[in-house]
Amino acid sequence: MITSPRLHSCTKSVAVRLLLPALFLAGAAFSAGADPQDDSRPYTLFLGANISVGQGTELHPVRDVNGGSWVVGANGQEVLVSGASGPINMKIVPARKLTENSATISKLKAERAYTFANDPSVKLTRGMNQSATVDASQHSAVNQATAVANNAIAAGQMGASSTSSNQGHVVAGADGTQQSLASAQANLDATGSGSDVFLKDANAESGDFDAFDVAFEISSGKPLGDPYIVVITRFHERGANEGAVRDLVYAKALEPIEAKAATVKFEQAGFPPGYELKSFEIHLYNHGEEIATNIAAKREALTSDQAFDYVKTAYLGAHKTDTLPAVPAIIGRLPADLQDRLATGKYGEAIFVRVTKDGMADAVFSDAACTRAIDDPYVASVVRCIRFKPALAQGKPVEGVTSLNLSRLKT
């Protein structure tokens, strides 16, 4: 029997994925620059968010965003959850995550804003247009009343009482109501060109922000085919008790993200006028999995050894009394030509890896009993890029064997 060489840990770098939250002061705009990934610390540990939604008591993990609907997985199928069908219940659970894959967010700017209907400049323009309409209408009313009076005088029907008759003549106002000629002239003076009535109204609403504008550029060395963002904004409503904070959640599907930076802009509406922005988080996902960016909450860059130690510690903590087989935990950067070899039909059979109690690959075999060692340096090079959650016996790590199909590894 030929014994395969002992396998050692893979030292090649691996990309990471993470979440982007940032804290903002109300009414301010900020920018975020790129933060290149440190190749010696290819993993990132961060505080992420697991989001589940549903209508009723049953909630399901979000997988995607489609227009104004959430896409969740339920009973093995993708199901749309839309506000058009009724109230949506949501659960957001903070979770520590270790990520692979990476995207870069730059030129990030965010600020409180106005929706179109609540924008003071729009209201001012609308008011000025209304003023111009009133102006023209009132001039018309005066001219009409004067013409009637002149015609009546010419016909000998008004005599010396023409002035008092003019003041009592009824004409239609701009809004269709009835008002006297004297009132029409008074309104013309008050709301005509140069009046500050509408400017005063606009200034009175200054600061009544009811929206949130966000813009940034995003890119990824590894293309993201189905990305979307979820924005969680925390705010204080004007007049609410001190310290009372509410959340508003917004989701948006993005175009595929590539190495060339693309611009993303959106307006998040639905805030009560005059709200105070406390903080917001932008979560980036692809196919339902959070993707790394260069900014993260409680972000910590880790070496491969540190990342693996974190995974093992978390795993042991979650299975203190369980008996479980070894399973792959972290897959590093696999050989570039693996896919080409797999396409030719090579390595389609399952292999068996003997895993130490520390989670390291020790040797590879063609049978579960580990009697037929595989003496293939290429297979060894692939397997040594994988670190495993060790087998457990009542919560204690032990040596174990796990099956592995190279064609099913994520590359």
Closest CA to 175 of 163, 193, 187: 187
The pLDDT value recorded for residue 94 is: 92
pLDDT at 29: 38
User: What is the pLDDT at residue 80?
Assistant: 92
Q: Residue 206 pLDDT more than 90?
A: no
pLDDT, position 224: 92
- pLDDT of residue 318 exceeding 70: yes
Place of tokens 């922000």: 209
> What six digits make up the tokens of 256?
């595929």
Which residues have CB under 8 Å from 85's CB, separation 6+? 55
d(CA 293, CA 291): 7
Q: Are strands 20-22 and 43-54 parallel, antiparallel or unpaired?
A: unpaired
Question: Mean pLDDT, to the nearest integer, of 73-82?
Answer: 89
Q: Above 70 in pLDDT, residue 270?
A: yes
Q: Which residue has the tokens 């890896």?
A: 353
Given a cut of 50, is residue 53 above it in pLDDT?
yes
Q: How far apart are CA 241 and CA 70, in angstroms?
A: 32
Among positive and negative, which fits the CA dihedral 363, 13, 16, 76?
negative
Closest CA to 258 of 214, 295, 294, 225: 225
| pTM above threshold 0.85 | no
Write out pLDDT tens, residues 78-109: 999 988 888 899 999 998 988 877 788 899 88
**145 exposed, middle or buried (CB, 10 Å; 0-12, 13-18, 19+)?**
buried
Is residue 14's pLDDT more than 60?
A: no
Q: What whole-number distance in Å separates Cα of residue 125 and Cα of residue 117?
A: 11
Q: Are strands 300-302 and 262-269 parallel, antiparallel or unpaired?
A: unpaired
Q: Token pair of 153, please?
A: 């005088």
**CB 278 within 8 Å of CB 236:** yes
User: Mean pLDDT, to the nearest integer, of 351-369?
Assistant: 94
Residue 307 phi, psi (nearest 5): -65, -45
Q: Which of the pair, 397 or 100, is modelled with greater confidence?
A: 397
Maximum Cα interatomic distance, the chain, rounded to a whole number of Å:
132
Distance CA 401, CA 264 (A): 47
Report the C-alpha gap between 161 and 163 in whole angstroms: 6
Look at residue 37 in the predicted model and tell me its pLDDT.
54
pLDDT at 165 over 60: no
Output the pLDDT for position 145.
46
* Residue whose C-alpha is closest to residue 17's, from 266, 221, 254, 249: 221
Task: Report the DSSP pairing between strands 60-66 and 300-302.
Answer: unpaired
The pLDDT tens digits of the residues spanning 213-224 come to 999 999 998 899
SS3 annotation, the chain: CCCCCCCCCCCCCCCECCCEEECCCCCCCCCCCCCCCCCCCCEEEEEEEEEEEECCCCCEEEEEEECCEEEEEECCEEEEEEHHHCCCEEEEEEEEEEEECCCEEEEEEEEEECCHHHCHHHHHHHHHHHHHHHHHHHHHHHHHHHHHHHHHHHCCCCHHHHHHHHHCCEEECCCCCEEEHHHHHHHHHHHCCCCCHHHHHHHHCCCCCCEEEEEEEEECCCCECCEEEEEEEEEECCCCCCCCCEEEEEEEECCCECCCCEEEEEEEECCCCCCEEEEEEEEEEECCEECCCCCCCCCEEECHHHHHHHHHHHHHHHCCCCCECCEEEEECCCCCCHHHHHHCCCCCCCEEEEECCCCCEEEEECCCCCCCECCCHHHHHHHCCEEEECEEECCEEECEEEEECHHHCCC
Lowest mean pLDDT among 104-108, 134-138, 209-213, 303-307: 134-138
Domain range list for the chain: 20-114+208-301, 117-204, 319-405
Cα angle 56, 62, 67; round to 5: 95
Q: Which of 32-41, 81-90, 188-197 has the highest mean pLDDT?
A: 81-90
What's the mean per-residue pLDDT of the chain?
Answer: 74
Nearest 10 degrees: Cα torsion 145, 147, 151, 156: 50
81/84 Cα distance (integer angstroms):
9
